[in-house]
A and B are shown apart, each in its own frame.
Chain A
Amino acid sequence: MQDSNSVGIVTPQFVHIDKPLELKSGSTLSDYHLVYETYGRLNADRSNALLVCHALSGNHHVAGIYADKPKSTGWWDNMVGPGKPIDTDKFFVIGVNNLGGCHGSTGPASIDPSTNHPYGARFPLVTVEDWVETQAQLAEHLGIAQFAAVVGGSLGGMQALQWTLHYPEKVRHAVVIAAAAKLTAQNIAFNDVARQAILTDQDFYGGDYYAYNTVPRRGLRLARMLGHITYLSDHSMATKFGRDLRDGKFSFGYDVEFEIESYLRYQGDKFSDLFDANSYLLMTKALDYFDPANAYDGDLTAAFKVAKAGFLVLSFTTDWRFSPERSRDIVKALLKNNINVSYAEITSAHGHDSFLMNDAYYHQLVRAYMNNIKV
């Protein structure tokens, strides 16, 4: 579906980066490619570039549709477009698939040129810091010396934060939505259960399932089902599904009975057809590792000392995976550094997924903040 203020038909582009990437893990990728999309036009001063960082299961296809796929609307099409809160008439918006992903950028499923087989288990773990470095390479390729803003939700918000720390001169504003400066033990625990589901699937083959012409579908499906539960709120599940039964009565068996079961299984199935299990593992580890305060004895305020950007930090009241408290930790550290920051706690029933939803107050806040960014 294409609405009237969509960016319209878009085409992904590729860039090959042959500058070796030294990863935080210690390994090096000699070269890699990134798939990205852009919307709007880079202005003459090259001052209106805005990077959208994606979350765990997102990708470079932020807005618009593909000519040959009428149902291929970008994942943040309600936010990004002409006249939308992130207005492509004003900003030159870039979406990029993160390194290690499975939508076109080099990742575990890509062919390793040194073996002519998919990387699989040999693909190194990458971190939020590594992603920021690859995004900086893309910016250089596009001739962008400084972003007007880096924007992201969840894991994408972590990347926006990292941009302000790693390249304080290269980002004027950061919009950090439903994110955290580090995951809690509970959050890591959810990620590990998801990983265990994949790692213990007998079709996983130590990460080299490509060679066996199979995928750890059951594991990935379970991982997604679990994740999905944590992205919703108790309230939104109760409202959407309640205890509704598909056939109106119990069948006293283990097939789908409750609507919520049907929904989760559908989501799990759909996801396991589209996503690469190794990418999922890698992305969840990137989430777990992120902790910029760690290098400063846990002092987030010290970590933010270098930051120069202005910040908009947003959280959602029913988000228990990335709770408002985590956003307030970020805000507190920013305040202590006398950084320009605004924070809003948006009343929403939809849990973590709220950051993808079309909430009036949420979108008005982003719009208002974006309107005041000078380009």
Chain B
Amino acid sequence: MVTTTPSSTAAELRPDFAAIASWIKADSKILDLGCGDGALLKYLQQERHIFGYGVDIDDGNVLSCLKNGINVIQSDLETGLSGFADDAFDYVILSQTLQAMRRTERIIREMLRVGREGIVSFPNFGYWKNRLQVIRGHMPVSEALPYHWYDTPNIHLCTLGDFEDFCQQCDAKILERRVMQQDRQIRFLPNLMGKLAFYRFERQNKSPRPESRD
């Protein structure tokens, strides 16, 4: 059992990692979708003794994972998770990737198929600074949304309210929500004050699901 709190340096560096780690039970099995260079998995290995795999489509990211000694499967999330069995993971994480995906509902449903719980984080479009920029007549550009409208990979931005409605549509039952502004947790007016949103959810209806395709 790992009961230590996340090490302070890493937690300071990546408060979003620390937020996710706080939800992960020790020794669990994890799938990290859009895993980048594998830094989150590495962090969770250190802090929570997890076993897991990352999934990424980008050659550079896959190579970085190998360099970091992280299991990685090169695959396009847009085509689903057919390479993974039902209920194979304790947690399936989609960290700051949802907003860049075309097939949003499908990936949430796939997360619920292969994992007992899903964890999603995304930049909150309802954050006041974003709203302010829109009121001033411009698409928001910020630390959490560093792209311009013409070069952004983010095609499905949403607010906290939007995502919560969407979860209902995807038969996902929200178990926990955390809203962050840098390393601070936001409890007051989260949809206005929060920059990053984290959700932990499970299947709405735990009764038998339709057979998976594979």
Residues of A with C-beta under 8 A to B84: 332, 335
Known: A332-B84, A345-B75. 5 other contacts (CB 8 A): A335-B88, A338-B51, A342-B72, A342-B73, A365-B63
Q: Is A43 an interface residue (CB 8 A)?
A: no
A343 at the interface (CB under 8 A from B): yes
- Please give, as numbers and ranges, the residues of chain B lying within 8 Å of A312 by CB-CB distance: 66
Q: Which of A149-157, A158-166, A290-298, A367-375 contacts B (4 or more CB under 8 A)?
A: A367-375
Q: Flag whether B69 is at the interface (Cβ < 8 A).
A: yes
Q: From B64, which residue of chain A is reached at the shortest CB distance?
A: A368
Report the Cα distance A276→B84, complex, angstroms.
43
**Any chain A CB within 8 A of the CB of B44?**
no
A-B contact pairs, 23 of them (CB 8 A): A331-B73, A331-B83, A332-B83, A332-B85, A332-B214, A335-B73, A335-B83, A335-B88, A336-B88, A338-B51, A341-B53, A341-B71, A342-B72, A343-B75, A344-B59, A344-B72, A344-B74, A365-B66, A368-B63, A368-B66, A368-B67, A372-B67, A372-B69
How many of chain B's residues touch chain A, expressed as a range?
A: 20 to 34
* B214 closest partner in A (C-beta): A332
1/0 contact string of A311-345 vs chain B (CB within 8 Å)? 01000000000000000100110011010111111
Query: Which residues of the other chain, B, contact A365 by a CB distance below 8 angstroms?
Result: 62-63, 66
Shortest Cβ distance from residue B13 to the other chain A in the assembled complex, whole angstroms = 23
Q: List residues of A whose CB falls within 8 A of some B CB.
A: 312, 328, 331-332, 335-336, 338, 340-345, 347, 361, 364-365, 368-369, 371-372
Chain A residue numbers with a CB within 8 Å of B51 are 338
Q: Is the pair A345, B66 in contact by a Cβ cutoff of 8 Å?
A: no
> Is B63's CB under 8 angstroms from A361's CB?
yes
Shortest Cβ distance from B44 into chain A, in angstroms?
A: 15
User: Cβ of A345 and Cβ of B74 under 8 Å apart?
Assistant: yes
Do residues B88 and A343 form an inter-chain contact, with CB atoms below 8 A?
no
| A343 / chain B contacts, CB cutoff of 8 Å | 72-75
Q: Beyond A335-B83, A335-B84, A338-B51, is A364–B74 a contact (Cβ under 8 Å)?
A: no
CB distance from B178 to the nearest CB of A (A): 29
Least Cβ distance of B38 to chain A in Å?
A: 10
The chain B residue with its CB closest to the CB of A368 is B66
Cβ of A342 and Cβ of B66 under 8 Å apart?
yes
**Among all A-B residue pairs, the 9 with the closest Cβ atoms:** A368-B66, A344-B74, A368-B67, A372-B69, A343-B73, A345-B74, A342-B72, A332-B83, A344-B62
Would you give the shortest CB distance from A337 to chain B, in whole angstroms?
11
Residue B120 lies at the interface, judged by CB distance under 8 Å to chain A: no
Chain B residues in 8 Å Cβ range of A371 = 67
Bound CA span A347–B160, Å: 38
Q: Are A347 and B59 in contact (CB under 8 A)?
A: yes
Which residues 165-214 of B have a CB within 8 angstroms of A? 214
Q: How far is the CB of A194 from chain B (nearest CB, A)?
A: 32
Decide if B25 is an interface residue (CB 8 Å cutoff): no
Give Cα distance in the complex from A315 to B2, angstroms: 37
A335 touches B62 (CB 8 A): no
Residues from chain B with a CB closer than 8 A to the CB of A344 are 59, 62, 66, 72, 74
A344→B62 CA distance, assembly (Å): 7
Determine the distance from Cα of A345 to Cα of B74 in the docked complex, in whole angstroms.
6
A339's closest neighbor in chain B, by CB?
B71
CB-nearest residue of chain A relative to B67? A368
State the CA gap A340–B51 with chains docked (Å): 9
Q: What separation, in Å, do the CA atoms of A254 and B85 have in the docked complex?
A: 54
Residues of A near B65 (CB, < 8 A) are: 342
The CA of A331 and the CA of B84, in the complex, are separated in Å by 9
Residue of B nearest to A311 (CB): B71
Asked whether A338 lies within 8 Å of B29 as measured between CB atoms, the reply is yes
Assuming the contacts A345-B74, A365-B63, asked whether A328 and B69 have C-beta atoms less than 8 A apart, the reply is no
> Would you call B71 and A342 a contact (CB within 8 A)?
yes
Residues of B within 8 A of A368 (CB): 63, 66-67
**B70 closest partner in A (C-beta):** A342
Residues in chain A near residue B67, CB distance under 8 A: 368, 371-372
B 70-94 binary contact with A (CB < 8 Å = 1; else 0): 1111110000000111001000000
